[in-house]
Structure 1
Amino acid sequence: MNFEHLRALAAVVDEGTFEAAADRLHLSPSAVSQRIKALEKSVGQVVVRRTVPCTPTHAGSALLRLARQVQLLEAEARHALGSETSAVTSTPVAVNADSLATWFLPVLEEAAGWPDTTLDLHVEDQDHSSRLLRQGDVLGAVTADPAPVNGCRAVRLGAMRYVPAAAPALRDRFVGASGPDWSAMPVLAFNTKDDLQRRFLASRGGAGQPPMHTIPSSEAFVAAVRAGLGWGMVPELQVGSDFDDGRLVLLDPAAHHDVVLYWQSWTLQSGRLDRLAAAVRRAGRLLRS
């Protein structure tokens, strides 16, 4: 199996088109196409869906994992040999938005001192990020999945605690003698994958279909809760002193939901990957044990 063919596959998937991959590899689009066709001939399967953007097939995902592993090990071998041509390597990582806005930030501070590595962050829900490992899109992922992806190892980091919060004015508008009117009080969701609010409502015996706003930004989500747009399950790490200062109120002081997070990465003998994993574990000390 020709590594130049694998390199072309990674470039096509990363860049999304054959033309952009050609620019990255300093080749013609025809040369990139020939390398992909040669790779497909060697494995006897189609490896790239010719869509916009291009995506790997199941066979392509397996080869993409191999391509990224070889690229990482090649870069480390060049560094160990003192090669003047050793390049800065990109490290693709999947992390959920709430983690990126809170406890993961110290990882970025450490990465600022890594001259041989750039980070390529993929923001994905913690319940779905392990899929990116399976597809070969990332080298490591913050995930809620404790079962290691084939070829990976999983390390428990800790738990993010979410609590039901609202602006005092919103709570006062919808609270009655028997408590909040869950069926009428507007609620927020991060996106269609966010089911924290639905789980909370289900624990209250269901609440019909309250008005729901979608806010696909971790910072804007908390800002929208503060603004009174709706209530939501917010990370304790993100609200700071809002409860003490009265900007937010807990809708149920006894209720919370803990999301246990894990770091999964490939089982490679890689100093760069080990360095990243160590940084993630240190940052994860901010999570609940």
Structure 2
Amino acid sequence: MAAGAFGFKGCQKIRGPQIRTLLEAKDFILFDCDGVIWHGETAITGAAKVVSSLIRRGKNVVFVTNNCTRPRESYVHKFYRLGFTDVLLEQIFSSSYCSALYLRDVVKIRGQVFVMGCDGLRRELQGAGVPCVEEADEPDATIYDCALAEDVKAVLVGHDDKLTFLKLAKASCYLRDPECLFLATDNDPWHPLSGGRILPGSGSLTAALEVSSGRKATVIGKPSRFMFECISSQFSGVEPARCLMIGDRLETDMLFGSNCGFDTVLTLTGVSQLEDAQRYLDGEPAADRGLVPDYVVDSVADFLPAFEELDDEQSD
């Protein structure tokens, strides 16, 4: 039975039997991380069991995250720490890792990269053999008198909680060279914190640099298709029609799935809620339809009854 054969796709709330039908039609299950399988340092109830059950049933499970603050090795440790004991390095596709692949394998960078980002992003680039500009300014240096590196062929913007005006000014100077690439790990505008506070995301830093440079960044992470190209390059036989994207953010996860030709599932444990999706479904323009999930679940834990039904069938 084809996915979607059990009813109209478009913000459809699904449960046990429908989820089972959907999973049977898919080979690759793509998960966002924060807001979907964990919140910070707390795993979402049932998420580890869902991931383990999918892997045990022979599904290809991959994790696609716009979080560029940690290298993939650090993600493996986090998965294990939170009870996801069967997740391997090669299943993790972060925007920092995909940025490193883009610089190394797609544009084949011949020169240095100026990074507006955290140490985790820099370590991922260095691990791929991509040379980064070393920051060695005096504490009182300004854009009027600081040294500018030679041979900067790309500026890469990611999450940077140590952003300074000097970094922004330097990046603006490098981008005056039209041959210098302007890349962003992702365009997430903000991230939720506890107590109703928010953390500005990479997209807010990219926007500042776009204004100062008069240029537009090429975005590597979701909703760009490039993350899917990274997955396709490392797993054989990835067909979009056999992929399912599970995420919590309409503007990144659902649009990424739509851009790549995947069926999409919105889980309501993160940023976007059902009424947000409904507004896009009911509103204009039609271009916003890519932001509408095909299916909706309250939590990834809603997948667990589907596995129990499969186990019951196999034991009959």
TM-score where L is the length of structure 2: 0.24
Larger relative strand fraction:
1
Highest CA radius of gyration, 1 or 2? 1
TM-score where L is the length of structure 1: 0.26
